[in-house]
Chains A and B, each alone.
Chain A
Amino acid sequence: MDMENQARVKAAAEKYNPEELVVILGGGEAESSGLAAETVTVGDPAFAGPLAGVSLGLKVYHILEDEVKEACDPKVYEEQIGMMEMVLDKEAITQEVRRIREQYSKY
């Protein structure tokens, strides 16, 4: 996750109640999505950005996960995500992000 996004997530976690905050990822690969999920839970694995050593433990989902899909207006989801749902490896991404969430999310 780039420095700017790390700073944004950190600022949001400080401004709002972290328990009520959900990070939605949109990465195209399981590995990079997993790293982003790790960044907003355990902290920046590259130890380079504002979340280095900062364990926010936020709830984190990928936009392709069924829990997110069910929470969206089906028409909007189809319009915005329908194409990418067919393109990306939904299973691998879901599995990776869920693994990180279940292991490291505090909320």
Chain B
Amino acid sequence: MLPVIKGAAYCLFHGPDLVMVSGTTYRTERIQNPNSDYIKAVPSRLRKFQDVVGYLPNQVYIGNIWPEDMPKYTRPWYENLIPDAKPQGPFGELVPQNLLYGVLKLADSFDLVVLEKDFQERIKPEMVATGLFQEQDFAKWKEGASLEAIQKEIETAHAEPLNLDGQLVGCVRRAHELDPALQAEVMLENLLAKATAVWTVRRFLKNTGFDPKEIEYIIETTEEACGDMNQRGGGNFAKSIGELCGLVNATGSDIRSFCAGPAHGMMAAAALVQTGVFKNVLVVGGGSGPKLGMNSRDHVKKGMPILEDMLGTFAIVVGENDGVNPVIRTEFIGRHKIGTGATPQAVMEALVAEPLARAGLKFGDVDRYAPELQNPEITEPAGAGNVPLANHKMIAALAVMKGQVPKAEMEAFVQAHGVPGYAPTQGHIPSGVPFVGYAREGILNGKYKRVMIIGKGSLFLGRLTNLFDGISFIIEPNIKETKPEGIDEEAIRSLVANTLRKVAEELKG
């Protein structure tokens, strides 16, 4: 039986001050050119929480507005905020920075996150009020520190500051004096990935009522590496997340393939479930601190606010076929093979055309294609164009080349089968997975008959290979397998058993 998508949760965490602490664009510039106009301008271009709540792509991410409805809204979206927008949505929520620091502290098992005493006390009740945390979650919290003590950690022990609206409220300490893999910068990055994932898994469990004990395996799919200098990517984010979400019956591991990681994770989860190894597998990805403000140089230059201030997360459970939830067609996985080549044409051929042909489907048989779903308002000012639109045009062009769509109808095909971009540029986050939640909803309510999720990854960034990467999979409605009439499985089983028994007796003599 094909595996199903049992549910999905999506949350975004606001981290404007972290743009200047964890974001690599800012950090690099601060080292090279600390007095540059960009460095001076950044603080005044950071957004307030109410601005990110009213920002259309964020509302789409948490499930309040369907992606197809995005063209109805006037751009630039950052100037045309949605009035009365709520930070909660059916898939998850937008989390303010103070609570992000709270969950960062909660995710810390080694006393590395230090919060100022009053701040720490203030955020506890706010965290409990979300319904995701209980008093016992804070049992291990020691009393917070004084601002002087925190300042000293930063000045004398290389701790990374945690600021709120420019005011110091805490720090993240290094986990080792010399080990470069355990410095404060790396620990902050890894704890952000862990903590934001913990929040989103808890949100998933609360929203769906899913029993945490039923999850048997966790696949974590970010692009971070946790380990020490002897094994920088040793792992394991997955179990560290499950530990804080009550997933006591699960084990897990981390899958990496740059932005394609989540698609690999979904495929592996589907395979584990279909083969009966595990009944329910959680695929999860936390947020990326280093990518905060990645294109902020261009945003500042063009007079825009810094839009890359959100840490993106997702949590999806793939489980045994329940006869209801949409299925993953594991027999038609698209893959970018080592021998495929790296041209966009070769990549799209491998990820879209080949699996469709194998499934006996036409390009038009897929209602929505969800490839890289980056928010174009972030990428266009940086010269990278509208990434999802470019992907949809490539799919349409491939359909034209296969003679399935007339060239004059390319644009119409893009409109009818594309998904506008709405995900933050958090690497693994935009790559197809944000749409899994909508695909599930849309298939359950009859809006879609078929959706293709496409994850793509740029492996050259790791400088080990120039190869590209990608995985695609098709999601369809759950059609109950019907048995031919007149066949009673129980009767056949009993007949076979009786025959075998007779044979055994005869052999015994």
Contact = CB atoms under 8 A, between A and B. Distances in A.
Given A81-B345, A82-B345, A87 B393 contact: yes
A28 interface: yes
A80 B344 CA distance: 8
B407 interface: yes
User: Which residue of A80, A86, A87 has the most chain B CB atoms within 10 A of its CB atom?
Assistant: A87
B400 interface: yes
Nearest to B297: A46
A29 B407 contact: no
A80 B348 CA distance: 11
Contacts of A35: 383
A82 B407 CA distance: 13
B379 to A, nearest CB: 10
Interface string A23-53: 0000011011001000000000000000000
Nearest to A89: B385
Interface string A57-95: 000000000000000000000011111101100000000
A31 B302 CA distance: 14
A82 B401 contact: yes
A81 B346 CA distance: 10
Nearest to A78: B401
B248 interface: no
B385 A87 contact: no
A74 to B, nearest CB: 14
Contacts of B384: 28-29, 32
Contacts of A87: 344, 390, 393-394, 397
A33 B384 CA distance: 11
Contacts of B400: 86
Contacts of A83: 344-345, 348, 394, 397-398, 401
A31 B301 CA distance: 15
B410 interface: yes
B311 to A, nearest CB: 26
Given A83-B401, A87-B397, A28 B407 contact: no
A84 B383 contact: no
A9 B398 CA distance: 32
Contacts of B410: 86
Determine the main DSSP class of B at the interface with A.
helix
Nearest to A84: B344
Contact of A79 (B345, B383, B397): B345
Contacts of A86: 393, 397, 400-401, 407, 410
B132 to A, nearest CB: 41
A76 B394 CA distance: 18
Contacts of A29: 383-385
Given A82-B401, A83-B397, A86-B397, A28 B385 contact: yes
A80 B398 CA distance: 12
B24 to A, nearest CB: 14
Contacts of B383: 29, 31-32, 35
Contact of B390 (A28, A32, A80): A28
Contacts of A82: 345, 397, 401
B343 interface: yes
Contacts of A84: 343-345, 394, 397
Nearest to B398: A83
A31 B401 CA distance: 28
4 nearest interchain CB pairs? A86-B397, A32-B383, A83-B345, A87-B393
10 contacts: A28-B384, A28-B385, A32-B383, A35-B383, A80-B343, A83-B401, A84-B345, A86-B400, A86-B401, A86-B407
Given A80-B346, A86-B401, 14 more contacts: A29-B384, A31-B383, A32-B384, A81-B343, A81-B345, A83-B344, A83-B345, A83-B401, A84-B394, A84-B397, A86-B393, A86-B400, A86-B407, A87-B394
